[in-house]
Amino acid sequence: MIFENLLTIIENGILTITINRPDKLNALNKKTVEEIGLAIRNAENNRDIKGIIITGAGEKSFVAGADISELFGLSIEEGKNYAKAGQLVFESIERSSKPVIAAINGFALGAGCELAMACHLRVAGENAKFGQPEVSLGLISAYGGTQRLIQYIGKTKATELHLTGDLISAEEALKLGLVNYVVPKEKIISKCVELLEKIKSKSPTAISSVINSLNSHFEKDVDGFNTEIEEFGKCLGTEDFKEGTSAFIEKRKAVFVGK
C-alpha cells in the first residue's frame, strides 16, 4: 500500500514503517497519525508479518513532535477530538498482537516520545534525545505521554520532565528504563531486527498473550491476574502449545504456526 507520509517495506516477516517527513523532522500531522494507524491495522491482518519496526527518515529525528501548525484555531472540543484520535492510534500500537519496536534515530520529543512509548520495545541511537516539552508551548501531552512516562520511569522523574520540559539523553533514558538498548546510530535497525528474529522464533500465539497480559496491568477496572489466567488457558488450546511441548520432549527446535 502506498502512503503519503510513510515508507513501508516487508523483509523476512518484519514490517518497517518509516515516518517520511524529514523536512519537518518527521513531525506528526493528522494525516501521518492516520496512516500509522492504517499500517498497524494492515499488519494485524497479515499473517506473514511477525514483527514491526517504526523509525523516522533521516539522521536527525525519529519524530520531533506534533505538527504544531495544525493546532492553531482548534476549539476546545476539536482539541479533545484531536487528542482522542491520536490516543486511539497509539493504543492500537500498544495492543498490537505483533511485537512493535521503536528504532529511535534522533529526536523523540512530544508526540515522538509518546509514539516510542506506545511501542513494546525501544532501541535508541547514541544521538537520541527524549522529552515532553509541551509546557513550553502552553500545552500538555495529547497522545498518552502523561500516563505512559509514569509507567516506564516512575512518577517522580516523569513529573519533573513534564513540568520542566527538559530533554534527556539516550544514556539517561536507558538508566531510567525508558529504552531497552542504546547502540551506535548505524546499528539501530540491525539491533531491532536481532530482537525481532529472536521473538519470531517463539510462539506467535504466546507472544500475543504476553502482550495482552502485560497491557492489562495498567487497564482500569481490569484484573491483570485474571487476564493472565484467561490467556494461559487459551494457550493450552493452541497448536503452538502442542508443537512447543512436543519439540521440548523430542529435544528439537519448535516450528510454530501461530494457531
Is residue 139 located within the same domain as residue 241?
Answer: no
| Distance (Å, whole) CA 242 – CA 256 | 9
Q: Which domain holds residue 218?
A: 204-250
Does residue 1 surpass a pLDDT of 80?
no
Number of structural domains in the chain? 2
Alpha carbons within 13 A on the beta-carbon side of 142? 26
Look-up of cell digits 537520541 = 128
Q: Buried b / exposed e across 144-171, counting CB within 10 Å, b at 16+?
A: bbbebbbebbeeebbeebbeeeebbebe
Look at residue 47 and tell me if it is in a domain. yes
Is residue 156 located within the same domain as residue 119?
Answer: yes
Look at residue 1 and tell me if it is in a domain. no
What predicted TM-score, i.e. pTM, was given to this entire model?
Answer: 0.94
Model confidence pLDDT, tens digit, residues 9-59: 999 999 999 999 999 999 999 999 999 999 999 999 999 999 999 999 998
Q: How many CB atoms lie within 10 A of CB 128?
A: 29
| Distance (Å, whole) CA 127 – CA 71 | 29
Q: Is 114 a catalytic residue?
A: yes
Look at residue 255 and tell me if it is in a domain. no
Candidate list 34, 44, 91, 114, residue with the active-site label: 114
We report the CATH number of the domain holding residue 130 as 3.90.226.10
Give me the chain's average pLDDT, please. 95
The phi and psi torsions of 37 (rounded to 5 degrees) equal: -60, -40
Is residue 178 located within the same domain as residue 84?
Answer: yes
Model confidence pLDDT, tens digit, residues 95-148: 999 999 999 999 999 999 999 999 999 999 999 999 999 999 999 999 999 999
Look at residue 258 and tell me if it is in a domain. no
Is residue 61 located within the same domain as residue 47?
Answer: yes
Pick from 162, 150, 139: which is nearest to 218 by CA?
150
Q: Is 172 a catalytic residue?
A: no
Coil/strand/helix, residue 125: strand
